[in-house]
Structure 1
Amino acid sequence: MANDKPYIVPSGWRLLLQDAGIDSANVLRRASLPEDLLSRDRACLSRDEYFRLWQGIEDEGSDPALPLRIAAGMSVEAFDPPVFAAFCSPNLNIALARLAKYKRLTCGKVLTVEVTDNATTIGAEWLDKSAQPPATLVLTELVFVVQLGRIATRERICPLEVRSPILPGKANDFTEFFGVSVRRGDVPQVRFSSADASRPFLTANESMWTFFEKELNKRLADLTESATTRDKVHAVLLELLPAGGASMDAVAKKLGVSSRTLHRRLKEEHLTFQKVLDDTREALAMHYLKSSPISGAEISFLLGYEDPNSFVRAFSGWTGTTPERARREMALVH
Structure 2
Amino acid sequence: MDTFALEPAVQALLVDLGVTPAHVLRRAGLPPDLFGRAPVRLSPGQYFALWRALEEETGDPELPLAIGRALSPEVFDPPLFAALCCPDLRTAARRIAVHKKLIGPVTLRVDEAQDRMRLVYHWPVALDPPPLLVITELVFWVVLARTATRTRLRPLRITAPEPPEDPEPYRAFLGTAVEHGPLPSVAFAAADAQRPFLTADRRMWDFFQPELRRRLSELEAGASLTDRVRAALLEQLPAGSAAMELTARTLAVSTRTLQRQLKSEGTTFQAVLNDTRQALARHYLTHSGLSVREISFLLGYEDPNSFYRAFHSWTGRTPAQATAEAARSPADPDPADAL
TM range (shorter): 0.7 to 0.9
* Amino-acid identity (%): 44
Partner residue of 1:193 out of 177, 189, 198:
189
Q: Cα distance, 1:184 vs. partner? A: 2.4
Distance (whole Å) between structure 1 residues aligned to residue 196 and residue 296 of structure 2: 46
CA distance in 2, matches of 1:116, 1:52: 37
Query: Structure 2 vs 1, CA of residues 32 and 314 (structure 1 numbering), >3 Å: closer, same or farther?
Result: same
| Residue 155 of structure 2 is aligned to residue 171 of structure 1 | no
3-state SS of paired residue (1:306): helix
AA aligned opposite 1:233: V
Question: For 2:227, what is the secondary structure of its paired residue?
Answer: helix
Asked whether the 8 Å contact 1:8–1:42 carries over to 2, the reply is yes
When the two chains are superposed, the root-mean-square deviation of aligned CA atoms in Å is 2.9
Q: 1:249 to 1:24 in 2, by over 3 A?
A: same
With over 3 angstroms needed to count, the CA separation of the structure-2 counterparts of 1:159 and 1:247, relative to structure 1, is closer
Instruction: State the partner residue of 1:284.
Output: 280
The separation in 2 between residues aligned to 1:298 and 1:115, in whole angstroms, is 20
Q: What TM-score, normalized by structure 1, do the two folds share? A: 0.84
Greater alpha carbon shift after TM alignment, 268-277 vs 66-75: 268-277
Separation of aligned partners in 2, 1:86 and 1:142: 15
Contact 1:92–1:199 (CA under 8 A) maintained in structure 2: yes
For 1:59, the equivalent position in structure 2 comes to 56
Q: Partners in 1 of 2:239 and 2:151 — Cα distance? A: 40
Mind listing any 5+ residue stretches in structure 2 that lack a counterpart?
334-339
Change (3 A) 1:293 1:210: same
* 1:47 paired to 2:44: yes
Partners of 2:245 and 2:198 in 1: CA distance: 47
Could you say which residue in structure 2 is the equivalent of 1:268? 264
1:213 match: 209
Matching residue of 1:125: 122
- Give, in angstroms, the shift of residue 44 of structure 1: 0.5
> CA 1:285/1:49 → structure 2, altered by over 3 Å: closer, same or farther?
farther
User: Superposition pairs for residues 106-185 of structure 1, below 5 Å?
Assistant: 106-116=103-113, 118-126=115-123, 128-185=124-181
Superposed CA deviations along residues 3-52 of structure 1, whole A, max 9, x for unmatched, are 442x1111111121222233433333343333322332212123333233
Deviates more, 1:238-247 or 1:165-174: 238-247
Post-superposition offset of 1:218: 2.4
Deviation at 1:175, TM superposition (A): 0.6
Q: Which residue of 2 aligns with 1:306?
A: 306
2:86–2:92 Cα contact (<8 Å) kept? yes
Match of 2:289 among 293, 306, 312: 293
Q: State the secondary structure of the residue aligned to 1:191.
A: strand
Secondary structure at 2:306 match in 1 = coil
Q: Deviations for 1:245-267, whole angstroms, at most 9, x for unmatched residues? A: 54656644554444443333223
Please give the residue correspondences for 1:72-87 in structure 2 after superposition, counting only pairs within 5 Å: 72-87=69-84
Amino acid at match of 1:160: L
Deviations 1:269-291 (A, max 9, x none): 23344543444344324423442
267-276 or 167-176, which deviates more:
267-276
TM-score between the two structures when normalised by the length of structure 2: 0.82
8 Å Cα contact 1:296/1:324 also seen in 2: no
Q: Secondary structure at the match of 1:101?
A: helix
Asked whether the equivalents of residues 121 and 190 of structure 1 are also in contact (C-alpha less than 8 Å), the reply is yes
Post-superposition offset of 1:79:
1.7
Contact 2:86 2:200 in 1 (8 A): yes
Alignment of 1:26-37 (within 5 A): 26-37=23-34
For residues 284 and 157 of structure 1, what CA distance do their matches in structure 2 show?
34
Residue pair 1:28, 1:34 contacting (<8 A) in 2 also: yes
Q: Which amino acid aligns with 1:331?
A: P
Inter-CA distance 123–274: structure 2 relative to 1 (3 Å threshold): closer
Which runs of no fewer than 5 residues in structure 1 stay unpaired?
none
Q: Distance in 1 between matches of 2:50 and 2:44?
A: 10
Contact 1:297 1:308 in 2 (8 A): no
Which residue of structure 1 lines up, in the alignment, with residue 337 of structure 2?
none
Structure 1's 173 and 148: CA in aligned 2 closer, same or farther, altered over 3 A?
same
CA distance in structure 1 between the aligned counterparts of 2:157 and 2:245, rounded to whole angstroms = 38
TM-fit CA distance, 1:84: 0.9
Q: Report Cα offsets for 1:113-140 as digits up to 9, x if no partner.
A: 34555433323222x1233321111111
Correspondence for 2:219 among 209, 220, 223: 223
What is the deviation of 1:196? 3.2
Q: CA deviation at 1:205?
A: 2.2
Q: Which residue of 2 aligns with 1:331?
A: 330
- 102-111 or 55-64: bigger deviation: 55-64
Counterpart amino acid of residue 314 in structure 2 = A
Given that 2:2 and 2:105 are in contact with CA atoms closer than 8 Å, whether structure 1 keeps it comes out as: no
